[in-house]
């Protein structure tokens, strides 16, 4: 009698990899139009401020929960609906205009079939991921996505393995395509992931910079003793030189040292305008903190001046401000 040990771990991975290759071929061929139809419907649903309700039972239900989570994290509001709980009140989460994404490999899941009439009446559209494109669930759907596999990665050909892998990959493909259609940006991703290392990496410069009264700033006519005082007081290694809110240049610790070595006591008679670097490295307030760090490392500097497109001074970002983000 054959046992589950007849398939090695590497065999299992190869079977699942082959199933994914088959899915990729369908996406490029027979399922191309259906996939893009589904993605367009999902994007339109989100753009209309409606939700995607994802449902499935058993292992398909677990994949459905992951798909809902991926949609949420990429900017498409989604919620998982347990089919068995739906008939006991949870169907109340579904409102007119919501889109239903149903997962059932057999296309005959009893708990979902019981809900079909209600799902069709309340929802805007029904998209189904199934391994049986001619099943009852598929026949009732507006869009059918074929998740069929030639076999499961199990000696008994029973345990949902290759089929759930294909469903998961197809769900990821849908979520990422919808995000692309909706113009989802890394800045949007950062807003949805404020916690953890990922959220830290996606923080914006505007969230970290020194702003307002903490910005070291002097006027062009400021004499050097006052410039030195401002730099010492703000302790960022530079001072900006600005007029009417617009950046004219900066003076760094290095600029100051070179000036003193070159002119000694006479250096103190200079003004900020005479000493400043008129072409400092700047960055936009909506840039990512990781981008700011890359600029600092490339230019071998420790501070960046934050300005708008029209050179209006917004703040100063120091290398120390990035240390807590685990970027350095």
* Range list of β-strands (E), 82-232: 99-103, 125-130, 143-146, 217-218
Provide the pLDDT for residue 273. 95
Torsion angle defined by CA atoms of residues 263, 266, 271 and 277, in that order, rounded to the nearest 10 degrees? 0
Specify the CATH number for 205-325; select among 1.10.10.10, 3.40.50.1100, 3.30.1490.190, 3.10.580.10: 3.10.580.10
**DSSP per-residue string spanning 16-43:** HHHHHHHHHHHHHTTTHHHHHHHHHHHH
Provide the pLDDT for residue 91. 84
Provide the pLDDT for residue 5. 58
Please give the mean pLDDT across all residues of the chain. Answer: 91
Q: How confident is the model at residue 1 (pLDDT cuts 50, 70, 90)?
A: very low
**How far, in Å, CA of 240 to CA of 5, rounded?**
70
Q: How confident is the model at residue 295 (pLDDT cuts 50, 70, 90)?
A: very high
pLDDT tens, position by position, 156-200? 889 999 999 999 999 999 999 999 999 988 777 777 777 666 777
* Range list of β-strands (E), the chain: 52-56, 78-81, 99-103, 125-130, 143-146, 217-218, 238-243, 246-252, 282-283, 303-307, 313-318
Q: How many residues does the chain have?
A: 328
Cα atoms in the Cβ-side hemisphere of radius 13 Å centred on 151: 11
**How far, in Å, CA of 142 to CA of 268, rounded?**
78
Specify the CATH number for 4-184; select among 3.60.150.10, 3.40.50.10490, 3.40.190.10, 3.40.1050.10: 3.40.50.10490
Torsion angle defined by CA atoms of residues 263, 269, 272 and 277, in that order, rounded to the nearest 10 degrees? -10
Q: How confident is the model at residue 18 (pLDDT cuts 50, 70, 90)?
A: very high
Q: How confident is the model at residue 4 (pLDDT cuts 50, 70, 90)?
A: low
Please report, for the chain, the start and end positions of each structural domain, with discontinuous segments joined by +.
Answer: 4-184, 205-325
Q: What are phi and psi of 190, to 5 degrees?
A: -60, -40
Section 138-147 average pLDDT: 97
pLDDT tens, position by position, 229-269? 999 999 999 999 999 999 999 999 999 899 988 988 888 89
Lowest mean pLDDT segment, chosen from 91-95, 177-181, 306-310:
91-95
Per the model's pLDDT, the better-predicted residue between 83 and 328 turns out to be 83
């Amino acid at each position: 009698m054959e046992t589950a040990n007849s398939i090695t771990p590497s065999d299992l991975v190869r079977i699942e990899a082959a199933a994914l290759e088959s899915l990729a071929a369908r996406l490029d061929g027979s399922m191309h139009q259906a996939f893009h139809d589904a993605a367009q419907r999902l994007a339109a649903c989100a753009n209309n401020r409606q939700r995607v309700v994802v449902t499935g039972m058993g292992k398909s239900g677990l994949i459905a929960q992951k798909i809902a989570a991926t949609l949420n994290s990429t900017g498409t509001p989604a919620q998982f609906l347990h089919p068995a709980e739906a008939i006991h009140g949870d169907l109340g989460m579904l409102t007119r205009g919501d889109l239903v994404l149903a997962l059932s490999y057999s296309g005959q899941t009893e708990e979902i079939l019981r809900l079909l009439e209600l799902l069709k009446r309340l929802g805007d559209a029904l998209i189904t991921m199934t391994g049986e494109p001619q099943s009852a669930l598929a026949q009732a759907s507006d869009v059918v996505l074929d998740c069929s596999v030639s076999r499961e990665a199990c000696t008994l050909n029973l345990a949902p393995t290759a089929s759930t892998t294909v469903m998961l990959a197809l769900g990821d493909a849908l979520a990422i395509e919808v995000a692309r259609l909706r113009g989802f940006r890394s800045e949007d991703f950062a807003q949805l992931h404020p916690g953890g290392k990922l959220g830290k990496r996606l923080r914006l410069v505007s969230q970290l910079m020194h702003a307002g009264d903490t910005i070291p700033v002097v006027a062009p006519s400021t004499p050097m003793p006052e410039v030195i005082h401002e730099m010492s007081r703000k302790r960022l290694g530079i001072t900006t030189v600005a007029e009417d809110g617009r950046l004219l240049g900066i003076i760094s610790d290095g600029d100051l040292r070179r000036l003193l070595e070159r002119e000694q006591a006479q250096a103190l008679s200079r003004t900020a305008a005479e000493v400043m670097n008129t072409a400092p490295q700047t960055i936009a307030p909506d840039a990512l903190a990781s981008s700011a760090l890359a600029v600092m490392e490339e230019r071998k500097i420790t501070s960046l001046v934050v300005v708008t497109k029209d050179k209006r001074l917004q703040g100063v970002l120091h290398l120390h401000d990035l240390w807590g983000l685990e970027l350095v």
